[in-house]
Structure 1
Amino acid sequence: MNRKSLTLVWALVVCLLLGHNAYLWLVKRIAPDTDILALLPLQERDPVLQRSFAHMIESAQQRVIVLVGARGWNDAMRAADAYTDVLKNEPDAISLSQVTDQMQGDWLAQFRKHAAVLLTSAQEEQLRSQPPQFWLDTARAGLYGMFSGPKVGAWQDDPFGLLGGWVQERARETPVRPRDGRLAVSNADRHYVLLPMMLNVPAFSMSAQETVLPLLDHAAQAARHAVPTADIIASGVVLHTAAAGEQAAREVSLIGAGSLVGIALLTWLAFRSIKPIGLVLLSIGIGCLGALSICWILFGRIHLLTLVFGASLIGVAQDYGIYFLCHRLNADERLDSVALLRKLLPGLGLTLLAAVIGYAGLALTPFPGLRQMALFSALGLIFAWLTVVCWFPSLIAGGRLRGGVLVMKYGALLKSWPPRCAGHGKFLVAGLLLLGMLLAAGLSRLDANDDIRQLQNPPRHLVEDQMKLNKLLDAASPVQFFLVRGISTEEVLQREEALKHRLDPLIADGKISGYQAMSNWVPSVRTQEERKSLLEEKLYQPGGPLAKLARETGEDGAWVERTRDRLLKTTGVLTVDDFLKTPASEPWRHLWLGNVDGEVAGIVALRGLHVTEFGTLKQVARDLPGVQWVDKVDEISSVLGRYRQYMMLVLLGAYAVVFLVLSLRYRFAAWRVLGPVALASIATLAMLGFFGQDLQLFHVLALMLLLGVGVDYGIFMQEHPGRDSTVPWLAVGLSAANTILSFGLLALSHTPALHAFGLTMLIGILLVWITVPCFGKRRADDMQPWRQQ
C-alpha cells in the first residue's frame, strides 16, 4: 500500500472513531460506571461462600438509612416530618418504609400460632430446672402484677408469659423501637427518628447520584429549616459511590488538563512552533478515541477509574510523536519524512511492543477494572502509534523543524552526564558499593501490607456518620459473619443452634453484644418437638401448673384442655419458607441463602463486633461441622497479597520476554537497554522503604508499567549508541518530563490505589531518565553541536 492510500485509510478509520464516539456521548448519552466493586478480584471461589457475601452486600447496597435527631422528641418528629415531606415528591427514586399499628398487629399474629415452639434459651433452662411453684408465681404475676413484663395478647392466650419473653428477646436484637407511629432510637443526648429507605434505582448508577443525592440534600435542608438544631445522620452505598465518582471526575479533569498543558508548553519550548503541539495532541486524541470505542464495544461500559487512569495515557502516547519530531528536528533536509520514518520504524516498533508487554501484565490480573484499564491504555498507545506512522510523514513532508532554546541547553547536558570520573575504576567501584548499600538499606525497610482498607479513602463526614449510626443502631457487620451450610434446611438450623450455644458465653463476657440468625425466628424441627415435649411435661400435664392455675382462677377442666390443645396440638411445624412469606421476615431475609449449588446455607451475623475478637470467633467455628467464619476484609486482603506475589513473578517473566525481544535487535547490548529500568525499579522499591510506604499490589502493577514505558528510553538511546547525536537524549527528556507530569499528578490522587500507582511511576521514570545515559557507550570526541535553522 502506498503512502497516499495508507493516509486515506487511516483517515477513514479516524472518521469512524469520531462518529462512534459522537454516537456514544451525544445519542446514547453513556455515563461512566462508578461501581468500586469492579476493582475486586474475580476468582474461582466456593460458590456458597461467594453467594453469601454477594447476598449480604446486595441486601445493603440499595438501602439508605437516615436518622433525624433533636434534643426533644417533638422536635425530632417535626424535623423528620419535614424530611419525609420532601422525599414524597420523588417516589420513583426512593421509597420510605413506614410502620403502622396494623403492621405490628400482623407481625405478632404470625407468631401466636406457634407460641409453643418459640422459647428463649433462658426459658428452656427454667423449664428444666425450676419447680412448678415458680411457674405458678410467674402466671400470677402476669395476671395481677402491674409491671409483669410484655404482653402480646390476652393473659389466657399466654398465661406463663413465654411468648412475651420470646418477643422481648427478639426486640433486643435492635435498639430501635416503635414510638408514635415511627421508628425511634435514643442516646443520652438526643432522640432520633429512624427513616429506612430503599432506592428504586441502582445504587451505582449515575441516575442515583444525579437524582437521589440532591433529593437527600434538599430533605436535610428542609429538616434543618424546621428545626435548626436537628442532627442528620445518613448512611448508604450510594453516598460513598457518589463521593468516589465526584472525586474521580475532578481527578480526570486535573490529570488530563495538567498533562495537556505540560505537553503543549514543553513542545513549544523545544520546537518553537504550534504545529508540533497540534501533531502530538492529534496522536493522543485519536488514541483516546480508539481506546474508548473498542473498550465500549468489548465491555459494554467504561469505568470512571479507567478514564482517570487513561488520562495518564497522555504522558505515554506522546513518546512516538516526540521521537519522530526530534529526529525531524536534526534530520538532513534532503531526507524526506517517509524515508526518515522507514529509518526510525524498528525503534518505534520496539517501543510500542515493550509498552504493550507492560500493559499486558496488568491485563493478567484478576481485576475486571484493571483489565479494562490495561486494554484501554494498550489500545490508546496502538492508535497513537498508528497515527504517527500513517499521518506524520505526510503532515511533515520535508525540511527540518526549528529547535528552541530548550534544545540547545538541554542537549548540552549530555556532555557532562554522567561525569567522566564515574567511569574510572576506583570511582566506579566505590559508587557501585555505595549504591548497593543504599539499595539494601531501603529494601530492608520495605514491608508488605495488603489490607484492602488501604484502598479506601471515603470522605471524613461519611465515615463519622457511619460510626455514629452503627453505634446507635448496634448494627451487624455485613463483611464478618458465620456461614452455616448443610444438606437440608433442618441440618442448617440445627448447626446454627449449636453455634449459638457457643456464642452465648461471649455475649455474657461482653465480647459481642448479640447475634442475628434465622434459627432465632424459626427453630429446627427437632428443637420444636423437644420444646413441645418439655412444655407438656413441665406445664401442661394433669395436675401440673396449668391445672393448678385453673383452680386458682376459677376456670374448669375444659379451659385447661382448650388451652393445652391450642398451644400444643393445633400448632403445626413452623418452617423457614412460611416465615419468609410474612412481613415480619423482611429485615432478616438477608440471613437466609437457601439452596445454592445443591447446598442449603444461612448466615449468623454478629453485633457489637470488635477486631480484637476475630481470633476468638474463628476458634468458635473450628470444629463445628458446616460452620465457617467469614472475614471478607481479611479474605480480599489475602487475595491482594497472593496476587502481589504472583505479579512479582509475572514482572520477572516480562523482563525475560522483553530481554529476548531486545536481543533480537541489539544482541549483547540488550542489557544496556533494559539495565536503566531494572535499576530504577529496584531503587524505587528502596525509596518506598525509606519513605515508610508499605508495598502493595498497585506498587507492583506500576513497576510492570514502568518496564513498558521506561524501556523506551533505553531503546531511544541504543538506536544511536554513540554521542554523535543528542536527538535521542532530547526525545528521552521530553518523553520523561511529560510522563512524570502525568503520573506525578496521578500520585496526587486521593484514590489510594491510584496514588500508590502514580508515586511509583513518578519515582521510577525520574530514575530511568537520570540513569539511562550511564548505560550508553561513550567516546571522547563524539559530541557534535546542534544544527540550527
Structure 2
Amino acid sequence: MFAGWVQERAGETPVRPRDGRLFVAGEGRQYVLLTYTLKKSAFSLGAQNAVLPLLAQASNAARASVPSAEVIQAGVVLHAAAAGQQASREVHTIGVGSMIGIILLTWLTFRTFKPIGLIVLAIAIGFLGALSVCWLLFGRIHLLTLVFGASLIGVAQDYGIYFLCNRLRADPQMDSAQLLRRLLPGLGFTLLAAVIGYMGLALTPFPGLRHMAVFSAPGLVFAWLTVVCWFPALIGAQTLKAGPIARGYKSLVARWPRLTNQPLTLVLVAVLGGVTVLGCSRLTVNDDIRSLQSSPPQLVRDQIKLSKLLDAPSPVQYYLVRGATSEEVLQREEALKRRLDPLIAQKHIAGYQALSNWVPSARTQAERLALIDARLLAKDGPLSMLAGEIGEDAGWAAVTAAHLRANAAPLELEAFMRTSASEPWRHLWLGKTEGVYASIVALRGMRYPSIPVLGQAAEGLSGVQWVDKVGGISSVLGRYRAYMGWVVLGAYVVVFPVLFPRYRGRTWRVLAPTAAASALTLALLGFTGHSLQLFHVLALMLLLGVGVDYGIFMQEEHERGSDAPWLAVGLSAASTILSFGLLGSSGTPALQAFGLTMLTGTALVWLGAPCFIVTKEEPNASPVLA
C-alpha cells in the first residue's frame, strides 16, 4: 500500500532526482532543472542588473560546453527587466522626440533661438521639480511614471507658447510686464483646468497612476511659475520675429469655418452627432488584464514551454482554503478534492497539489487505521492466514497486530513540515494568517475555458474560496473604468463653475470643443474595432485638462480679434500631438491606448476650438450657435 501511495505522490510532478540534480524529460530530450531564489524584489532595478548578467553568463557557458544544449529561462525578474528596458528606451524616444519637435516648431514660428531656450528652460524646471516632489513623497519613481512624464513636455510648453505668441502679436509699445497682467487670468485658468485633469489620475488605486498624477501636477505648476516669473523679464517687444508658421496662420484664420446657425452648419452638426452615436454604439469593452501583456514573445514562449515540461500548476488560479485549525483546513481540502476528482476524468484539469495529499486529516487517518484494523489485523483475518502460511501460531499474529497498532501514530502536519520531504510543497501552506489557518490547493493542466466549472466546484464548501487573480484584476479594472468614467463627467461639472465667473455665457464654448472631441474619439475607437479600457478613460480625463486650455486661449482674445490665440493653440496642439503620438507608439499596451486616445482627441480639439469663438463683431451671439 505504501508503494502505491508513493507512486501516486510521484505523479504530481514529472521532475525526478538523479545524481544530485533534478531532471525532467520532454520532447525527446533530457533537461536539468536549476532554480534560483532572489534576495530582493524582482521589480528592483538593482536585482535585475545583478541577476540578468549572471543568467546570460550561465547560458553562454552551457552552450559553450555543449553547443547543442537548449537553455530555457523563466522567472518574474526576466519579465520585469524586459519591461524596464522597454520603458527606458521609450523615455529617451518620447522625451528626445518631443523636445526636437518643439524646438523645430518654435524656430519656424519665432526665427530666433531665445524662445527655444526659454521653453526648454520652463520644461526642464517643471520636469526636475516634479521629479523632486515625487521622490520626496514616495522615495522611488516608477519607470512608467518617467515614460508618462516625458509626455509632460507636450503640455508644460503651452504656457510659454501662449505668452510668446501674444508677445509676437502685441503692440510694441506695451512692455512684457503689462502683457503678462493682461494674460494672467487666462494662464491661471489653464493651469487650474490642467491640474484638475491630471489629479483625476490620483483617484485611481494604482500606485503607478498616482505617481503620474503627483509627478504631472507639480511639473505643470513649476513650468507655469517659470513662465510667469521669468518670461516677462527675458522677452522684450523687439525680441521675436514672425517666422513662416506665424505668417501662415494669419491667412488661415480668415478661412477657418465657424459654428453658425446656417442650414449647412446645422446639417453638418447633425451628421457628426449621428456618426458619434453610431460609433459609440459599436464600442465594446475589454478589461482583461492579459490584453495589457507586453513581454517579449521569446520570454512568453519559454515560460509556456517550461510550464508544460514541469506540468506546473497555474500561479494565478487556485483554491484558498481556510479553517480555525490546521485539522479543519485539511478536512476542507479533502472535501474539495472529492469534487475535483471527477473534473480530472472530464479533462478540465490534469491534477491538483494539496498538503492533504501528503498529510491526510486526523479524521481520515483514523478512518483508514480503523479499516486496516478491521480488515487486516482482526482475529481470523489475513494476518492469521499469513501466520498459518509461514508456520506461526495465533500468538504470533496477536503480537504482530499489537506491534503494528502501537506504531500507527498519526502523522501531524507540523511534523511533516519539519522534514525535507515537505520542501517542494511548503508554498502550499500559508499557516496562521489573520487569526485563521490557510492553505492553497493548486491545479495542474488547467484549461482557461474550464474556469467557470472550477469556480463552481468551490460553491457551498465552507472555508473554500476560488481565486482567479487574472479575473479579479480584470474585474477591478472594469470597476475603475466605470468609476473613472463618472469622474470624467464630474470633472466637467467641477470645471464649469470654476470658469463661469470669468466667461459667463461663453463658458460652454470653452468646454464644448473638448466634450465633442471626447465623444468623437470614443466613436472612432468603436469604428476601428478598439475595445474601451481603463486607460482610454484616463486619457479622456487628461484630455479635459489639455483641451480646456485651447478653449480658454481662444475665448481670451475674442474681443481684440487677434490671431495670437490661434497661433498659440496651433503650436501647443502640434507639440502635444507629437508628444502623445510618440506615446501611442509605445510597446506598452496601456501607454499605447493612452497615447492614441490623446493623439486623436487633441487633434479634434485643435480643429474644433476655433469654430466656437465669438468675434468682436458678434458679442451677442446665440448661446447655442454662433
Q: TM-score, normalised by structure 1?
A: 0.76
**Paired AA for residue 404 in structure 1:** G
**Alignment deviations for residues 504-544 of structure 1 (CA, whole Å, 9 cap, x no partner):** 11112222110011111111111111111111111122332
CA-CA distance at 1:473 after TM superposition? 0.8
> Cα gap change, 1:266/1:559 in structure 2, threshold over 3 Å: closer, same or farther?
farther
- Which residue of 2 is the match for residue 287 of structure 1? 126
SS of 2:454's equivalent in the other structure is helix
Give how far 1:294 is off.
1.1
- Say yes or no: does 1:579 pair with 2:391: no
Is residue 204–residue 210 contact of structure 2 (8 Å, CA) maintained in 1?
A: yes
After superposition, give the CA deviation of every residue in 1:384-413 in whole Å (9 maximum; x if it has no partner): 111111111222255451111110112321
Shift of 1:556: 6.4
Shift of the alpha carbon at 1:714? 0.4
Which residue does 2:206 correspond to in 1?
A: 367
Q: In the alignment, which of 413, 423, 428 is matched to residue 252 of structure 2?
A: 413
1:271 aligns with 2:99: no
What displacement does 1:781 show? 11
**Structure-2 residue corresponding to 1:709:** 546
Match of 1:474 among 311, 325, 338: 311
Indicate yes or no: 2:72 matched with 1:233.
yes
CA, structure 1 residues 556+290, in 2 after alignment: closer, same or farther (shift >3 Å)? farther
Alpha carbons of structure 1 residues 777 and 531: separation in structure 2 relative to 1, 3 Å: same
- Is 1:721 the equivalent of 2:543? no
Specify the SS of the correspondent of 2:438. strand
Alignment coverage as a number of residue pairs? 619
Paired with 1:555 and 1:212, the residues of 2 have a C-alpha distance of 66
List per-residue Cα deviations over 1:146-201 (Å, max 9, x = no partner).
Answer: xxxxxxxxxxxxxxxx2211111111000111223321111242111111222233
Correspondence 1:502 to 2:335 = no
Q: How does 1:511-530 map onto structure 2 within 5 Å? A: 511-530=348-367
1:540 aligns with 2:377: yes
Question: Residue 185 in 1 paired to residue 24 in 2?
Answer: yes
> Per the alignment, in what secondary structure is the counterpart of residue 34 of structure 2?
strand
Structure 1 residues 461, 561: CA separation in 2 closer, same or farther (over 3 Å shift)? farther
Contact 1:213 1:239 in 2 (8 A): yes
Residue 389 and residue 561 in structure 1: after superposition, are their counterparts in 2 closer, same or farther (change >3 A)?
Answer: farther
Mapping 1:169-318, distance limit 5 Å: 169-318=8-157
CA shift, 1:562, in A, is 6.1
Partner SS for 2:285: coil
Stretch of structure 1 that moved more, 739-748 or 719-728: 719-728
Which residue of 1 is the match for residue 3 of structure 2?
164
Aligned counterpart for 2:526 among listed residues 682, 686, 689: 689
* Partner secondary structure for residue 418 of structure 1: coil
For 1:435, the equivalent position in structure 2 comes to 272
Aligned equivalent of 1:648: 485
Within 1, Cα distance between the matches of 2:116 and 2:37? 51
**How much has 1:343 moved relative to structure 2?**
1.2
Structure 1 distance, partners of 2:106, 2:162, is: 12
**Residues 1:602 and 2:429 are matched in the alignment:** no
What is the CA–CA distance in structure 1 between the aligned matches of 2:404 and 2:502, rounded to whole Å? 90
CA distance in 1: counterparts of 2:383 and 2:125, whole angstroms: 87
Q: 543-552 or 574-583: which moved more?
A: 543-552
Distance (whole Å) between structure 1 residues aligned to residue 345 and residue 275 of structure 2: 55
Task: Please identify, of 684-693 and 404-413, the stretch whose mean Cα deviation from structure 2 is larger.
Answer: 404-413
Tell me the residue number matched to 2:471.
Answer: 634
Distance 1:657 1:663 in 2: 11
Aligned residue identity for 1:760: T
Describe the SS at the equivalent of 1:482. strand
Aligned partners of 1:728 and 1:676: how far apart in 2? Answer: 15
Unaligned segments of structure 1, at least 5 residues: 1-161, 783-789
Residue matched to 1:86:
none
Pair 1:385-2:211 in alignment = no
Are the aligned partners of 2:511 and 2:548 in contact in 1 as well (CA < 8 Å)? yes
Secondary structure of 1:185 counterpart: strand
Q: Deviations over 1:296-325 (max 9, x none)?
A: 111011111000000000000000111111
User: Aligned AA for 1:259?
Assistant: S
Distance, in Å, in 1 between the alignment partners of 2:587 and 2:507 is 39
Stretch moving more, 488-497 or 710-719 = 488-497
The residue type paired with residue 544 of structure 1 is G
- Following the alignment from structure 2 to structure 1, what is the Cα–Cα distance between the partners of residues 387 and 71? 54
Deviations 1:184-226 (A, max 9, x none): 1112421111112222333222222212111111111111122
Is 1:569 the counterpart of 2:400 in the alignment?
A: no
Name the aligned partner's letter for residue 604 of structure 1. V
Pair 1:325–1:555, CA change in 2 (3 A)? farther
SS in 2 for 1:423: coil
Shift of 1:364: 0.6
Runs of 4+ with deviation above 4 angstroms: 554-563, 779-782
Q: CA separation of 1:326/1:525 partners in 2, compared to 1, >3 Å: closer, same or farther?
A: same
Please tell me whether the aligned partners of residues 333 and 400 of structure 1 are also in contact (alpha carbons under 8 angstroms): no
Structure 2: how far apart are the matches of 1:533 and 1:781?
Answer: 99
The separation in 1 between residues aligned to 2:247 and 2:85, in whole angstroms, is: 44
Shift of 1:545: 1.7
1:231 partner SS: coil
Provide the residue aligned with 1:756 in structure 2. 593
Give the whole-Å Cα distance in 2 for the aligned partners of 1:689 and 1:355: 27
Q: Distance between the aligned counterparts of 1:566 and 1:415, measured in 2? A: 107
**Residues 557, 341 of structure 1: alpha-carbon distance in 2 compared, 3 angstrom cutoff:** farther
Q: Distance in 1 between matches of 2:408 and 2:166?
A: 91
How far apart in 1 are the matches of 2:584 and 2:310?
Answer: 38
Matching residue within 487, 508, 516 for 1:671 = 508
- The answer to whether the 8 A contact 2:355-2:425 is kept is yes
Q: Is the 8 A contact 2:484 2:538 kept in 1?
A: yes
The aligned amino acid for 1:373 is: M
> How much has 1:570 moved relative to structure 2?
2.8
> C-alpha offsets along residues 253-276 of structure 1, whole Å, 9 cap, x if unaligned?
000000000010001111111110
Q: CA–CA distance in 1 between the matches of 2:400 and 2:46?
A: 57
Q: Distance in 1 between matches of 2:195 and 2:617?
A: 37
Unaligned runs of 5+ residues in structure 2 are 620-626
Residues 558 and 616 of structure 2 are in contact (CA less than 8 Å); yes or no, is this contact kept in structure 1?
no
User: Matched residues in 1 for 2:178 and 2:607: separation?
Assistant: 31
- Contact 1:621-1:627 at 8 Å conserved across structures: yes
- Could you list the per-position Cα deviations for residues 642-665 of structure 1 after superposition, in whole angstroms to 9, with x for gaps in the alignment? 111111111111001111111011
Deviation at 1:738, TM superposition (A): 0.4
Q: Does 1:769 align with 2:606?
A: yes
Is the 1:330–1:401 contact (alpha carbons within 8 Å) kept by the matching residues of 2?
no
Q: 1:553: Cα distance to partner?
A: 3.8
SS of residue matched to 1:235: coil
Say if 1:337 and 1:394, in contact at 8 Å, map to a contact too.
yes
1:550/1:227 CA distance change after superposition, 3 Å = farther
1:151 matched residue in structure 2 = none
The 1-side partners of 2:206 and 2:133 are apart by 19
Counterpart of 1:63 in structure 2 is: none
Distance 1:652 1:201 in 2: 42
Aligned amino acid, residue 532 of structure 1: L
Change (3 A) 1:393 1:488: same
* Cα pair 1:439 1:682 within 8 Å, conserved: yes
